[in-house]
Structure 1
Amino acid sequence: MTAALIVARNATKVLPGIAPVTLVRDLNLSIGARELIAITGPSGSGKSSLLYMLGLLDLPSSGDILVNNRSTTAMSAEERAHMRLTQFGFVFQFHFLLPEFSITENVALPMRALGKLSQAAISARAMELLNSLDLGDHLRKRPDQLSGGQRQRVAVARALANDSPVILADEPTGSLDSISTMQVFEMLRDLVTEHGKTVVAVTHDVNLATQMHRRLHIVDGHLEKDERTPMAIAQGAG
């Protein structure tokens, strides 16, 4: 069994206030390499809150998130920011591409933030990623000149920019039609099967969840189920 990439230990997230709201409760789980995981559950159950804690976009109120066996709650904000850039790529429902930049410039942003490559190398990698996702004819276009499915492919390219081992997706197909939904899902699946990434995706789509290897079902902030899907069992995955 491969070593865990991410471990949640008694992770709890509470929104403070006169009447505090607990979003995630004493959650424990382990995520390894080359996993394709769905996070499911009713609206407001804590799915996105969990994803944001796993990706260090938010800190737990108590408990810990370990990445590569390192406690992240003990890190400085700068250390967590660096770990986000190197270990995680993010895909969101509404892509959050910057409208004033071309799609090539959008994909370049994480690489510029990391600061490891020259400008020429950054541009070359951005174009290579976009070409690999059949967007080579649109390199100079802005996001508003593309379809919803194309914009989500740009978001996937941006998530891959720093070659991070883990891709976290929050309802990545929630605003897409059925054809674009399957295209984006197949891309995420290929990241696991062809490129060795780990993909964790929040989804309301039961059909998509059953096509992943593992399902984490959250209800009222509790992890109610952590199970291999029927498809994973049939394929002998996990």
Structure 2
Amino acid sequence: MAPIVEARKVTRILQEAVPVTLVRDIDFVAEKGEFISVTGPSGSGKSSLLYLLGLLDVPTQGHVLIDGEDTVGLDAGALAGVRLRKIGFVFQFHFLLPEFTVLENVMLPMRRLGALSGEAIVARGKQLLVDLDMENQFDKRPDQLSGGQRQRVAVARALANDPMLILADEPTGNLDTKNSEIVQGIFARLVHEQGRTVIAVTHEEAFARTTDRNIHLVDGKIESDRRQKP
């Protein structure tokens, strides 16, 4: 079975007046069912690496493979298709659309993919929210929810098209301790009960300690990649 995501000698350089190297020579493999945290000081390339793994950016050199498929050379439309089918994203700022209800936000990726009937989309959207204890919030707007609730909706949306890879960028950065623990627990269940792969950038040591594996970046390079005790 191919790794869920793999980086082979990935380098990303911003071609400005003075070129800036965001990440350099990254070799990285994530298998099915891994919970991985990415840590490092500010400016170390954590988010840059996540965006490369999620095909939101493309490497200057090297290759990113998703489920065994080499994405180098794919055009923008093909990259968007891979993202839609195989990757779910959760960001620090949830990016829920304020004009839509909670349920409508969760259904958006399914509507874009177009693989399910309208009835099936509604049913799956509701079930995802029920699974995250949001069953009484279907018709609310995002501004009627707490920060923790909004982030749970963002997780449900990330799961809409049943991706095996979830990428999270500081997903607990705006949450209090209680809601941070709830979101961490949700990610752990996705990994250990559903076999998904979760890669989360975080500056919170407590969050990083809950993951099975930690990758630490310094100056755009992997300084350490270690398994952690459960």
What TM-score, normalized to structure 2? 0.98
Q: Which residue of 1 aligns with 2:222?
A: 223
Q: Which residue of 1 aligns with 2:173?
A: 174
Q: Which residue of 2 aligns with 1:155?
A: 154
In the alignment, the residues of structure 2 paired with residue 180 and residue 23 of structure 1 have an alpha-carbon distance, to the nearest angstrom, of 31
In the alignment, the residues of structure 2 paired with residue 205 and residue 117 of structure 1 have an alpha-carbon distance, to the nearest angstrom, of 38
In the alignment, the residues of structure 2 paired with residue 198 and residue 6 of structure 1 have an alpha-carbon distance, to the nearest angstrom, of 9
In the alignment, the residues of structure 1 paired with residue 69 and residue 158 of structure 2 have an alpha-carbon distance, to the nearest angstrom, of 22
Q: How does 1:98-109 map to 2 (within 5 A)?
A: 98-109=97-108
* Partner-residue secondary structure (3-state), 1:116: coil
**Structure 1 residue 126 corresponds to structure 2 residue 122:** no
**How many residue pairs align between the two structures?**
230
* Partner-residue secondary structure (3-state), 1:4: coil
Query: Once the 2 structures are TM-superposed, how far is the Cα of residue 74 of structure 1 from its aligned partner?
Result: 2.1
* Partner-residue secondary structure (3-state), 2:4: strand
Q: How does 1:31-50 map to 2 (within 5 A)?
A: 31-50=30-49
* Per-residue deviation, residues 154-187 of structure 1 (Å, max 9, x unmatched): 0000000000001000000000000000000000
Query: Once the 2 structures are TM-superposed, how far is the Cα of residue 76 of structure 1 from its aligned partner?
Result: 2.2
Q: How does 1:20-31 map to 2 (within 5 A)?
A: 20-31=19-30
Q: Structure 1: which 5+ runs fail to align?
A: 233-238
Q: CA RMSD in A?
A: 0.9
In the alignment, the residues of structure 2 paired with residue 30 and residue 193 of structure 1 have an alpha-carbon distance, to the nearest angstrom, of 18
More moved, 131-140 vs 176-185: 131-140
Query: Once the 2 structures are TM-superposed, how far is the Cα of residue 95 of structure 1 from its aligned partner?
Result: 0.4
What TM-score, normalized to structure 1? 0.95
Runs of 4 or more, structure 1, over 4 Å off, are none
* Partner-residue secondary structure (3-state), 2:198: strand
In the alignment, the residues of structure 2 paired with residue 3 and residue 109 of structure 1 have an alpha-carbon distance, to the nearest angstrom, of 29
Query: Once the 2 structures are TM-superposed, how far is the Cα of residue 126 of structure 1 from its aligned partner?
Result: 0.6
Q: Structure 2: which 5+ runs fail to align?
A: none
Q: Which residue of 2 aligns with 1:135?
A: 134
Q: Which residue of 2 aligns with 1:8?
A: 7
In the alignment, the residues of structure 2 paired with residue 14 and residue 99 of structure 1 have an alpha-carbon distance, to the nearest angstrom, of 35
Q: Which residue of 2 aligns with 1:235?
A: none
* Per-residue deviation, residues 72-118 of structure 1 (Å, max 9, x unmatched): 01222222111101110000001000001001000001001111111
Amino acid in structure 1 at the alignment position of 2:92: Q
In the alignment, the residues of structure 2 paired with residue 164 and residue 68 of structure 1 have an alpha-carbon distance, to the nearest angstrom, of 11
Share of identical aligned residues, percent?
Answer: 54
